Amino acid sequence: MSGLALEERVVPAEGMDCPSCATTATKTLLGLAGVSAVRPDIIAQRVTVQYDPARVGLGEIARSLRGLGYGSPEPPSPPADASASSRGEAARALARADRVRRLVEGAPLHVVLGGVLWGLTTWATLGEWNGAVTALLGAGTVLAAGWRVLRPAVSALLHGVFDMHVLMVAAAVGALFIGEYVEAGAVLFLFALARELEQRALGRARLEVRSLMDLTAPDATVLRHGHDVRVPVEAIRPGELVLVRPGERVPVDGTVVNGSSEVDVSAITGEPVPEGKFKGDQVLAGSLNGRRALEIVCDRPAAESALGRILASLEAARAEKSRAEAFVDRFARIYTPLVMAAAALVAVVPPLFFGGAWADWGYRALVLLVVACPCALVISTPVTIVSALTGAVRQGILVKSGVHLEVLGGVRTVAIDKTGTLTEGTPRVAEVESWDGTEPDWILELAATAESRSEHPVGRAILEAAREGGLRLPAGVDMEALPGRGARARTGGREILLGSPRLFREEGLFDETSKARTLRAEATGATVILVAWDEPPGPLAIRGAVLLADRLREGVADLLRGLRENGVSRVVCMSGDRSTSVDRALAGLGPNDGGFDEWRGDLLPEEKVEWVRQLRREGPVLMIGDGVNDAPALAAADTGMAMGLGGTGLALDAADIALMHDDLRRIPEAFRIGRKAGRIIRTNIAFAIAVKLGFVALGGLGLASLWMAVLADMGSSLAVIGNGLRALRSGPPDA
């Protein structure tokens, strides 16, 4: 099979909603010539198929699924690499078809009819009716309640798969054969009832995933050649002008060029309060526009938008097995055949060698067959993982896979970058020093005048401080930028020189007094910008300094407190910034205040990596950075978390976990989700294994009936699904 000829498509598989169903579908499709890989998704009820179109058609693949009882009247979805909007439209179409099907079918008639017939069978047995009538009612119950089970059971048997459907049908038919008509009906009636309840429970997780797809706008209004043109979102090209009307979803990531409005970004970033968006601000695809129209310039194609990346990452995360899932799969592969072999021995050995009654031991074997179904165990982890991942996205936290969610749940050491993570990443004016008695406002005004046309971060910080102070800058400024050193300006007959100490050393203006004052200011951790001007007829002289600092973000104290509350025992800060700057920023956040245990500055990227490796010797480490210059340290840690909006695309690609809103208080929430998911998974696995092993023992001893085994099997499935869905909700650590 030529690798170049392979295609990958997503095919609906409605009704494939349990692990054994997925196993049967996988084996069936892999049996088709030309199919090379199959990835089932029981939450979304679909399979991703890699195949050679020269050897097998998509129609044949869909027919094979329908032959198993897994299909949909909807056509297969677009290719797996289709745009986010195409995937969203396909998901919405499936949701509409699902609603129509449920409306047409109404009540689950097989459950209702099966329940009525089972009740009559029980009445007939207790009333000692004619044996033939009772047998007929029992058989009717099996056929009515099991009509949705029989076809997949036959298909599974034909493909050599002993799945849940086969085991249940075998138990029911076996009970009929030995004359246990009430028990035979109970098996499939209770199974059908539990499956219906299970579907409704799983439907919640499915709707949560589909609701994310609904955030994608299928089309948008683009301004082309002076006209409004409605086009599919995937047809919008970078640089095109897009009109977003009031109440519409933003179709692509873009920059506002005209208009202002409040935009609800809660679905993307988890931020509950709408944000005001003005000219020059960035807007994200999937956010909801408020009451005024916006014109935006498309920054990137729809498939590369923040929302598109989120959806792609979430789909990839669902396809990747966590370590708990891998363990459960290995356990189930051993457990199921062992119990089935035990059932065969229980049915045959006592009657053959110890004079036991065939009916009695056959009944015990049927109980073991029911208990052999590993569904509750296998489904216990993926439901929790999908619920937790989806719930995290709702909080503005993107976790790339269940593996990273598990790691997060066990982290006790956190390493955090300073610049751009703990701090805003942009310098701000902290203080203006006067060295000759000049008013600080006058020093700031002249400094802003020299930087009036600058795009450098230092210049922007000085200009912002001047605007906040209400200072008015003169017109007609002749400015000369001095790259890497500062700026020179002339206005009103006055020359202004502004820049680093290096510039003033080169100009011969940096004497011992200036040096001492500069060193004293730098000792506070600030960046010192010297300001000089001439007072005609006097010479050019340094008359003051502007001190710049990178301010801590809001929520640093909440972050540190939240980490401690979630079991983190060691928190360190690593920075490439000067040690004096790091000391100044973090001095009030020591371990006695629940803050940092240690911090270091002047670190090169390789030194950060080495420190992370040292920390890993004590246990799993989470590294938090801005996703750009911290990439080596992020990769060296057990799992890495990046601040998202500082560079959405790169952060989403580079990190294992990304915050879609630069709010440090989201980090403890990520820990809560990880810890909660871990506790739910462990509880589910322990519960499912305990129930299975308990009923294996009871069944072998003849202390469990068929209906008890069905209730235990399906009841445990419902219990672990319901418990797993709790991961959709965020809550306190012990929730």
How would DSSP label each residue in 254-273? EEEEE--EEEE-HHHH---S
Question: Does an H or E element contain 514, and which?
Answer: helix 512-522
List C-alpha distances in Å: 385 to 11, 270, 575, 675: 23, 19, 34, 12
Adjacent-strand bridge partners of 482: 486
| Paired tokens of 211 | 């609701």
List C-alpha distances in Å: 391 to 267, 314, 382: 11, 11, 14
Cβ atoms of 236 and 242 within 8 Å: the answer is yes
**Cβ neighbours of residue 269 closer than 8 Å, sequence gap 6 or more:** 284, 396, 644, 645, 660, 661
**Distance from C-alpha of 116 to C-alpha of 121, rounded to nearest angstrom:** 9
3-state DSSP call for residue 288? Answer: strand
* 417 is a catalytic site residue: yes
| Paired tokens of 459 | 């210049």
Within a 10 A sphere around the Cβ of 107, how many other Cβ atoms?
8
Q: Which amino acid is at 201?
A: A
Phi, psi of 499 (to 5 degrees): 165, -165
**Cβ neighbours of residue 144 closer than 8 Å, sequence gap 6 or more:** 110, 113, 114, 117
The residue from 299, 417, 630, 662 that is catalytic is 417
How would DSSP label each residue in 529-578? EEEEEE-TTSPEEEEEEEEEEEEEPTTHHHHHHHHHHTT--EEEEE-SS-
Cβ atoms of 410 and 566 within 8 Å: the answer is no
| DSSP-derived secondary structure letter, 504 | H
List C-alpha distances in Å: 487 to 428, 446, 528, 575: 18, 12, 14, 29
| DSSP-derived secondary structure letter, 727 | G
How would DSSP label each residue in 117-180? HHHHHHHHHHTT--HHHHHHHHHHHHHHHTHHHHHHHHHHHHTT---HHHHHHHHHHHHHHTT-
Residue among 405, 413, 673, 422 at smallest CA distance from 567: 413
Any idea what the Cα angle at residue 688 is, between residues 687 and 694, rounded to 5°? 85
**Distance from C-alpha of 79 to C-alpha of 341, rounded to nearest angstrom:** 43
Catalytic residues: 417
